[in-house]
Copies of this chain bind each other. A is one copy, B any other.
Amino acid sequence: MNFGFALQAQDGAARAGLLSTTHGQVETPTFMAVGTAGTVKAMTADSVRATGAKVVLGNTYHLMLRPTAERVARLGGLHEMMDWPGPILTDSGGFQIMSLAKLRKMDEQGVTFRSHLDGSAHHLSPERSTQIQHLLDATITMVLDECTPFPATHEQAAVSMRLSTRWAIRSRAAFIARPGYGQFGIVQGNVFEDLRSESAAALVEQDFEGYAIGGLAVGEGQAMMFAMLEVTAPLLPAQKPRYLMGVGTPDDLLGSIARGVDMFDCVMPTRAGRTARAFTSHGVFNLRNARFIDDARPLDATCACLCCARHSRAYLHHLFRAQEILGPMLLTTHNLTYYQSLMTQARMAILEKNYAIYCARTRAGWENAKHG
Protein backbone atom coordinates (compact mmCIF):
# COMPACT_ATOMS: atom_id res chain seq x y z
CA MET A 1 0.00 0.00 0.00
CA ASN A 2 1.31 3.45 -0.88
CA PHE A 3 1.73 6.09 1.77
CA GLY A 4 -1.12 8.54 1.63
CA PHE A 5 -3.64 10.65 3.44
CA ALA A 6 -7.27 11.12 2.45
CA LEU A 7 -9.19 13.99 3.97
CA GLN A 8 -12.63 12.58 4.66
CA ALA A 9 -14.49 15.38 6.40
CA GLN A 10 -14.03 18.82 7.89
CA ASP A 11 -15.99 20.63 10.58
CA GLY A 12 -14.59 24.14 10.75
CA ALA A 13 -10.83 23.54 10.77
CA ALA A 14 -11.22 20.13 12.44
CA ARG A 15 -10.43 17.23 10.12
CA ALA A 16 -11.26 13.53 9.84
CA GLY A 17 -8.95 11.58 7.58
CA LEU A 18 -7.46 8.24 6.69
CA LEU A 19 -3.74 7.67 6.76
CA SER A 20 -2.51 4.75 4.66
CA THR A 21 0.86 3.08 5.21
CA THR A 22 2.53 -0.19 4.39
CA HIS A 23 1.86 -1.25 7.97
CA GLY A 24 -1.86 -0.50 7.89
CA GLN A 25 -4.42 2.28 7.81
CA VAL A 26 -5.10 4.77 10.57
CA GLU A 27 -8.24 6.82 11.02
CA THR A 28 -7.49 10.36 12.16
CA PRO A 29 -7.44 12.23 14.40
CA THR A 30 -5.21 9.70 16.11
CA PHE A 31 -3.18 9.56 19.29
CA MET A 32 0.08 7.58 19.06
CA ALA A 33 1.15 5.56 22.10
CA VAL A 34 4.70 6.40 23.17
CA GLY A 35 6.94 3.33 23.16
CA THR A 36 10.24 5.00 23.94
CA ALA A 37 12.66 2.10 24.23
CA GLY A 38 10.81 -0.44 22.12
CA THR A 39 7.94 -0.95 24.58
CA VAL A 40 4.96 1.11 25.65
CA LYS A 41 5.79 1.18 29.34
CA ALA A 42 3.85 -1.34 31.49
CA MET A 43 1.97 -2.67 28.44
CA THR A 44 2.22 -5.75 26.26
CA ALA A 45 1.75 -5.18 22.54
CA ASP A 46 -1.61 -6.95 22.83
CA SER A 47 -2.76 -4.64 25.59
CA VAL A 48 -1.71 -1.59 23.53
CA ARG A 49 -3.76 -2.93 20.62
CA ALA A 50 -6.72 -3.45 22.95
CA THR A 51 -6.71 0.27 23.81
CA GLY A 52 -7.48 1.02 20.17
CA ALA A 53 -4.07 2.57 19.48
CA LYS A 54 -3.04 2.16 15.85
CA VAL A 55 0.40 3.80 15.85
CA VAL A 56 3.30 3.43 18.28
CA LEU A 57 6.09 5.97 18.58
CA GLY A 58 9.71 4.95 19.12
CA ASN A 59 12.45 7.26 20.34
CA THR A 60 15.56 7.28 18.17
CA TYR A 61 17.78 8.64 20.95
CA HIS A 62 16.94 5.77 23.32
CA LEU A 63 17.02 3.06 20.68
CA MET A 64 20.30 4.18 19.08
CA LEU A 65 21.99 3.87 22.47
CA ARG A 66 20.28 0.63 23.50
CA PRO A 67 19.81 -1.87 21.95
CA THR A 68 21.31 0.16 18.99
CA ALA A 69 19.75 0.60 15.56
CA GLU A 70 21.97 -2.04 13.96
CA ARG A 71 20.91 -4.60 16.56
CA VAL A 72 17.22 -3.79 16.08
CA ALA A 73 17.75 -4.23 12.34
CA ARG A 74 19.37 -7.64 12.90
CA LEU A 75 16.33 -8.62 14.99
CA GLY A 76 14.10 -7.82 12.02
CA GLY A 77 13.26 -4.22 12.84
CA LEU A 78 11.23 -2.57 15.56
CA HIS A 79 7.88 -4.03 14.41
CA GLU A 80 9.20 -7.56 14.70
CA MET A 81 11.16 -6.93 17.89
CA MET A 82 8.28 -5.43 19.85
CA ASP A 83 5.47 -7.42 18.19
CA TRP A 84 3.87 -4.32 16.67
CA PRO A 85 3.09 -5.00 13.01
CA GLY A 86 1.15 -1.72 12.79
CA PRO A 87 2.62 1.66 11.88
CA ILE A 88 5.54 2.99 13.91
CA LEU A 89 6.66 6.60 13.89
CA THR A 90 10.14 7.38 15.17
CA ASP A 91 11.33 10.79 16.22
CA SER A 92 14.69 12.07 15.02
CA GLY A 93 16.53 11.99 18.35
CA GLY A 94 17.08 15.73 18.44
CA PHE A 95 14.63 16.57 21.19
CA GLN A 96 15.84 13.86 23.58
CA ILE A 97 19.50 14.71 23.04
CA MET A 98 18.67 18.21 24.24
CA SER A 99 16.84 16.97 27.33
CA LEU A 100 18.79 13.83 28.29
CA ALA A 101 22.27 13.62 26.81
CA LYS A 102 25.42 15.05 28.40
CA LEU A 103 28.14 17.31 26.96
CA ARG A 104 26.22 18.24 23.84
CA LYS A 105 28.11 20.07 21.11
CA MET A 106 26.21 21.26 18.10
CA ASP A 107 27.42 22.64 14.80
CA GLU A 108 26.22 22.82 11.21
CA GLN A 109 27.12 19.18 10.66
CA GLY A 110 25.09 17.78 13.54
CA VAL A 111 25.34 17.14 17.26
CA THR A 112 27.95 15.29 19.28
CA PHE A 113 26.93 14.08 22.73
CA ARG A 114 27.57 11.60 25.47
CA SER A 115 25.06 8.89 26.40
CA HIS A 116 23.20 9.43 29.67
CA LEU A 117 23.51 5.66 30.18
CA ASP A 118 27.24 5.07 30.04
CA GLY A 119 28.91 8.30 28.93
CA SER A 120 29.88 6.88 25.53
CA ALA A 121 30.34 9.42 22.71
CA HIS A 122 27.91 9.58 19.79
CA HIS A 123 27.27 11.75 16.78
CA LEU A 124 23.93 12.45 15.21
CA SER A 125 23.58 14.22 11.88
CA PRO A 126 20.49 14.56 9.65
CA GLU A 127 21.91 11.73 7.55
CA ARG A 128 22.65 9.44 10.50
CA SER A 129 19.27 10.09 12.14
CA THR A 130 17.54 9.19 8.88
CA GLN A 131 19.68 6.07 8.54
CA ILE A 132 18.93 4.99 12.11
CA GLN A 133 15.21 5.36 11.52
CA HIS A 134 15.60 3.29 8.35
CA LEU A 135 17.38 0.58 10.34
CA LEU A 136 14.58 0.66 12.92
CA ASP A 137 12.15 0.19 10.00
CA ALA A 138 10.12 3.27 10.96
CA THR A 139 6.91 3.61 8.97
CA ILE A 140 7.17 7.36 9.45
CA THR A 141 10.60 8.95 9.72
CA MET A 142 11.05 12.42 11.20
CA VAL A 143 13.65 14.93 10.04
CA LEU A 144 16.37 15.93 12.49
CA ASP A 145 15.68 19.38 13.89
CA GLU A 146 17.00 21.62 16.60
CA CYS A 147 14.54 22.29 19.38
CA THR A 148 14.74 26.02 20.01
CA PRO A 149 14.76 26.78 23.73
CA PHE A 150 11.78 28.66 25.14
CA PRO A 151 11.77 31.54 25.68
CA ALA A 152 14.03 32.63 22.79
CA THR A 153 14.56 35.95 21.06
CA HIS A 154 13.41 36.39 17.48
CA GLU A 155 17.08 36.30 16.46
CA GLN A 156 17.77 33.03 18.31
CA ALA A 157 14.59 31.46 16.97
CA ALA A 158 15.39 32.50 13.40
CA VAL A 159 18.95 31.11 13.50
CA SER A 160 17.69 27.87 15.02
CA MET A 161 14.78 27.50 12.60
CA ARG A 162 17.03 28.08 9.58
CA LEU A 163 19.47 25.43 10.80
CA SER A 164 16.51 23.06 11.21
CA THR A 165 15.42 23.88 7.67
CA ARG A 166 18.87 23.04 6.26
CA TRP A 167 18.84 19.83 8.29
CA ALA A 168 15.35 19.00 6.98
CA ILE A 169 16.62 19.32 3.41
CA ARG A 170 19.59 17.04 4.21
CA SER A 171 17.22 14.58 5.99
CA ARG A 172 15.00 14.53 2.93
CA ALA A 173 17.96 13.78 0.69
CA ALA A 174 19.06 10.95 2.98
CA PHE A 175 15.61 9.34 3.13
CA ILE A 176 15.34 6.12 1.15
CA ALA A 177 11.81 6.17 -0.23
CA ARG A 178 9.93 2.88 -0.17
CA PRO A 179 6.26 2.27 -0.98
CA GLY A 180 4.07 2.82 2.07
CA TYR A 181 6.77 4.55 4.10
CA GLY A 182 6.86 8.31 4.67
CA GLN A 183 8.93 11.14 6.08
CA PHE A 184 7.62 14.21 7.88
CA GLY A 185 9.14 17.68 8.00
CA ILE A 186 8.91 19.66 11.25
CA VAL A 187 7.82 23.31 11.29
CA GLN A 188 9.81 25.35 13.80
CA GLY A 189 9.92 29.09 14.52
CA ASN A 190 9.10 29.28 18.19
CA VAL A 191 6.25 31.73 18.89
CA PHE A 192 7.02 34.02 15.95
CA GLU A 193 4.48 34.03 13.13
CA ASP A 194 6.89 35.17 10.44
CA LEU A 195 9.37 32.40 11.34
CA ARG A 196 6.66 29.72 11.42
CA SER A 197 5.59 30.94 8.01
CA GLU A 198 9.13 30.88 6.60
CA SER A 199 9.73 27.41 8.03
CA ALA A 200 6.49 25.97 6.65
CA ALA A 201 7.12 27.40 3.17
CA ALA A 202 10.61 25.93 2.99
CA LEU A 203 9.43 22.49 4.15
CA VAL A 204 6.44 22.37 1.83
CA GLU A 205 8.88 22.85 -1.03
CA GLN A 206 10.47 19.52 -0.07
CA ASP A 207 7.14 17.74 -0.55
CA PHE A 208 7.23 15.62 2.60
CA GLU A 209 4.57 12.92 3.13
CA GLY A 210 3.40 14.82 6.20
CA TYR A 211 4.21 17.81 8.39
CA ALA A 212 4.79 18.06 12.10
CA ILE A 213 4.49 21.16 14.19
CA GLY A 214 7.38 21.19 16.62
CA GLY A 215 8.68 23.44 19.33
CA LEU A 216 5.31 23.83 21.06
CA ALA A 217 4.18 22.64 24.50
CA VAL A 218 7.57 23.70 25.83
CA GLY A 219 6.33 26.28 28.32
CA GLU A 220 4.53 28.83 26.14
CA GLY A 221 1.10 27.95 27.56
CA GLN A 222 -2.02 26.62 25.91
CA ALA A 223 -3.26 29.98 24.58
CA MET A 224 0.02 30.72 22.79
CA MET A 225 0.19 27.13 21.51
CA PHE A 226 -3.30 27.44 20.05
CA ALA A 227 -2.39 30.81 18.50
CA MET A 228 0.64 29.25 16.82
CA LEU A 229 -1.49 26.38 15.51
CA GLU A 230 -3.91 28.89 14.03
CA VAL A 231 -0.99 30.51 12.23
CA THR A 232 0.77 27.34 11.17
CA ALA A 233 -1.89 24.81 10.19
CA PRO A 234 -3.27 26.87 7.27
CA LEU A 235 0.24 27.08 5.82
CA LEU A 236 0.38 23.30 5.41
CA PRO A 237 -1.05 21.34 2.47
CA ALA A 238 -4.61 20.23 3.20
CA GLN A 239 -3.99 16.81 1.66
CA LYS A 240 -1.11 15.92 3.98
CA PRO A 241 -1.34 14.76 7.62
CA ARG A 242 -0.42 17.21 10.39
CA TYR A 243 1.23 16.03 13.55
CA LEU A 244 1.55 18.12 16.72
CA MET A 245 4.54 16.75 18.59
CA GLY A 246 4.48 16.00 22.32
CA VAL A 247 0.93 17.21 23.02
CA GLY A 248 -0.82 16.86 25.45
CA THR A 249 -3.72 16.98 27.92
CA PRO A 250 -7.16 15.86 26.72
CA ASP A 251 -8.14 19.54 26.53
CA ASP A 252 -5.01 20.34 24.47
CA LEU A 253 -6.00 17.58 22.07
CA LEU A 254 -9.57 18.78 21.57
CA GLY A 255 -8.40 22.36 21.02
CA SER A 256 -5.66 21.29 18.62
CA ILE A 257 -8.01 19.13 16.57
CA ALA A 258 -10.28 22.17 16.31
CA ARG A 259 -7.29 23.97 14.77
CA GLY A 260 -6.57 21.33 12.14
CA VAL A 261 -4.22 18.79 13.76
CA ASP A 262 -4.55 15.11 12.80
CA MET A 263 -1.92 13.28 14.85
CA PHE A 264 -0.58 13.47 18.41
CA ASP A 265 1.84 11.79 20.73
CA CYS A 266 2.55 12.43 24.38
CA VAL A 267 3.95 10.56 27.38
CA MET A 268 1.15 11.99 29.51
CA PRO A 269 -1.33 9.07 29.57
CA THR A 270 1.40 6.45 30.05
CA ARG A 271 3.47 8.43 32.57
CA ALA A 272 0.35 9.39 34.51
CA GLY A 273 -0.63 5.73 34.51
CA ARG A 274 2.51 4.93 36.48
CA THR A 275 1.93 7.71 39.04
CA ALA A 276 -1.74 6.95 39.83
CA ARG A 277 -3.14 9.89 37.80
CA ALA A 278 -6.30 8.88 35.97
CA PHE A 279 -7.75 10.62 32.93
CA THR A 280 -11.50 10.03 32.84
CA SER A 281 -14.72 11.43 31.45
CA HIS A 282 -15.16 12.97 34.93
CA GLY A 283 -11.80 14.72 34.79
CA VAL A 284 -8.40 13.92 36.25
CA PHE A 285 -7.82 12.45 39.67
CA ASN A 286 -5.13 10.73 41.67
CA LEU A 287 -5.97 7.23 42.76
CA ARG A 288 -3.66 7.40 45.76
CA ASN A 289 -6.12 9.84 47.33
CA ALA A 290 -7.68 8.42 50.50
CA ARG A 291 -11.18 9.16 49.25
CA PHE A 292 -10.94 6.13 46.96
CA ILE A 293 -10.10 3.62 49.70
CA ASP A 294 -13.64 2.20 49.86
CA ASP A 295 -14.86 3.32 46.43
CA ALA A 296 -16.32 0.21 44.82
CA ARG A 297 -17.25 2.01 41.58
CA PRO A 298 -15.32 1.50 38.36
CA LEU A 299 -12.75 4.17 37.55
CA ASP A 300 -14.88 5.43 34.64
CA ALA A 301 -18.30 3.86 34.16
CA THR A 302 -18.35 5.03 30.52
CA CYS A 303 -15.13 3.13 29.70
CA ALA A 304 -14.99 -0.47 28.49
CA CYS A 305 -11.29 -1.11 29.16
CA LEU A 306 -10.11 -4.09 31.22
CA CYS A 307 -9.42 -1.82 34.18
CA CYS A 308 -12.88 -0.25 34.24
CA ALA A 309 -14.76 -3.42 33.29
CA ARG A 310 -13.24 -5.61 35.97
CA HIS A 311 -11.96 -3.57 38.87
CA SER A 312 -12.96 -0.96 41.44
CA ARG A 313 -11.32 2.34 42.30
CA ALA A 314 -10.69 0.85 45.75
CA TYR A 315 -8.65 -1.97 44.19
CA LEU A 316 -6.64 0.48 42.09
CA HIS A 317 -6.06 2.59 45.21
CA HIS A 318 -4.84 -0.53 47.01
CA LEU A 319 -2.51 -1.50 44.15
CA PHE A 320 -0.86 1.94 44.07
CA ARG A 321 -0.57 2.07 47.86
CA ALA A 322 1.02 -1.38 47.84
CA GLN A 323 3.28 -0.34 44.93
CA GLU A 324 2.11 -3.31 42.90
CA ILE A 325 3.12 -3.34 39.22
CA LEU A 326 -0.48 -4.16 38.32
CA GLY A 327 -1.45 -0.59 39.30
CA PRO A 328 0.57 1.01 36.47
CA MET A 329 -0.45 -1.82 34.14
CA LEU A 330 -4.16 -1.27 34.67
CA LEU A 331 -4.07 2.52 34.82
CA THR A 332 -1.90 2.84 31.71
CA THR A 333 -4.41 0.60 29.95
CA HIS A 334 -7.21 2.87 31.05
CA ASN A 335 -5.49 6.18 30.28
CA LEU A 336 -4.49 5.07 26.78
CA THR A 337 -8.01 3.73 26.19
CA TYR A 338 -9.45 7.05 27.36
CA TYR A 339 -7.19 8.98 24.97
CA GLN A 340 -8.19 6.66 22.12
CA SER A 341 -11.88 7.00 22.89
CA LEU A 342 -11.47 10.79 22.85
CA MET A 343 -10.00 10.51 19.35
CA THR A 344 -12.68 8.09 18.14
CA GLN A 345 -15.47 10.30 19.42
CA ALA A 346 -13.84 13.47 18.07
CA ARG A 347 -13.65 11.81 14.66
CA MET A 348 -17.28 10.78 14.80
CA ALA A 349 -18.30 14.30 15.82
CA ILE A 350 -16.33 15.78 12.92
CA LEU A 351 -17.98 13.38 10.47
CA GLU A 352 -21.35 14.50 11.87
CA LYS A 353 -20.38 18.23 11.79
CA ASN A 354 -20.95 18.24 15.51
CA TYR A 355 -17.44 18.86 16.80
CA ALA A 356 -18.02 22.05 18.80
CA ILE A 357 -20.90 20.50 20.71
CA TYR A 358 -18.89 17.34 21.34
CA CYS A 359 -16.05 19.42 22.80
CA ALA A 360 -18.42 21.42 25.00
CA ARG A 361 -20.06 18.26 26.37
CA THR A 362 -16.73 16.56 26.97
CA ARG A 363 -15.35 19.59 28.82
CA ALA A 364 -18.53 19.79 30.91
CA GLY A 365 -17.98 16.15 31.90
CA TRP A 366 -14.49 16.97 33.17
CA GLU A 367 -15.99 19.55 35.52
CA ASN A 368 -17.78 16.75 37.33
CA ALA A 369 -14.54 15.50 38.86
CA LYS A 370 -15.40 17.18 42.15
CA HIS A 371 -18.62 15.18 42.33
CA GLY A 372 -16.88 11.85 42.15
A81→B326 contact, CB < 8 A: no
Residues of B near A38 (CB, < 8 A) are 315, 318-319, 322
A314→B44 contact, CB < 8 A: no
Rounded to whole Å, the gap between the CB of A273 and the closest CB of chain B is 11
Residues of B near A67 (CB, < 8 A) are 293, 314, 318, 321
A42→B326 contact, CB < 8 A: yes
Residues of B near A43 (CB, < 8 A) are 326
- Most B-side CB within 10 Å, residue of A43, A312, A325: A325
The complex is assembled from copies of this chain, and their number is: 2
CA distance A71 to B293 in the complex (A): 9
A36-62 contact mask (Cβ, 8 Å, vs B): 1 or 0: 011101111110000000000000001
Residues of B near A76 (CB, < 8 A) are 296
Check A66 for interface membership: any CB of B closer than 8 A. Answer: yes
Contacting A329 at CB < 8 Å: which of B62, B310, B329?
A: B329
- Most B-side CB within 10 Å, residue of A319, A326, A330: A326
Rounded to whole Å, the gap between the CB of A61 and the closest CB of chain B is 13
Residues of B near A82 (CB, < 8 A) are 315
A300-340 contact mask (Cβ, 8 Å, vs B): 1 or 0: 00000010001110110011011011101110000000000
CA distance A153 to B324 in the complex (A): 39
Contacting A81 at CB < 8 Å: which of B41, B42, B312, B321?
A: B312
Contacting A74 at CB < 8 Å: which of B41, B42, B294, B324?
A: B294
By a beta-carbon cutoff of 8 Å, the part of chain A in contact with chain B is: 37-39, 41-46, 62, 66-67, 71, 74-76, 81-83, 293-294, 296, 306, 310-312, 314-315, 318-319, 321-322, 324-326, 328-330
Residues of B near A328 (CB, < 8 A) are 325
Rounded to whole Å, the gap between the CB of A329 and the closest CB of chain B is 6
19 contacts between A and B (CB under 8 A): A37-B322, A38-B315, A38-B318, A38-B319, A39-B319, A41-B324, A41-B325, A42-B326, A43-B326, A44-B329, A62-B322, A66-B318, A67-B314, A71-B293, A75-B315, A81-B311, A81-B314, A325-B329, A329-B329
CA distance A312 to B311 in the complex (A): 32
B81→A315 contact, CB < 8 A: yes
Residues of B near A311 (CB, < 8 A) are 81, 83
* Known contacts A75-B314, A294-B71; A322 and B66 CB within 8 A of each other: yes
A306→B71 contact, CB < 8 A: no
Contacting A306 at CB < 8 Å: which of B46, B314, B325, B329?
A: B46
CA distance A322 to B39 in the complex (A): 10
CA distance A39 to B306 in the complex (A): 15
* Known contacts A67-B318, A81-B315, A82-B315; A310 and B39 CB within 8 A of each other: no
Q: Nearest chain-B residue to A296 (Cβ)?
A: B75
A37→B325 contact, CB < 8 A: no
* Known contacts A44-B326, A71-B293, A326-B41; A66 and B314 CB within 8 A of each other: no
Residues of B near A45 (CB, < 8 A) are 310
* Known contacts A44-B329, A67-B314; A39 and B83 CB within 8 A of each other: no
CA distance A44 to B37 in the complex (A): 22
Residues of B near A46 (CB, < 8 A) are 306
B306→A75 contact, CB < 8 A: no
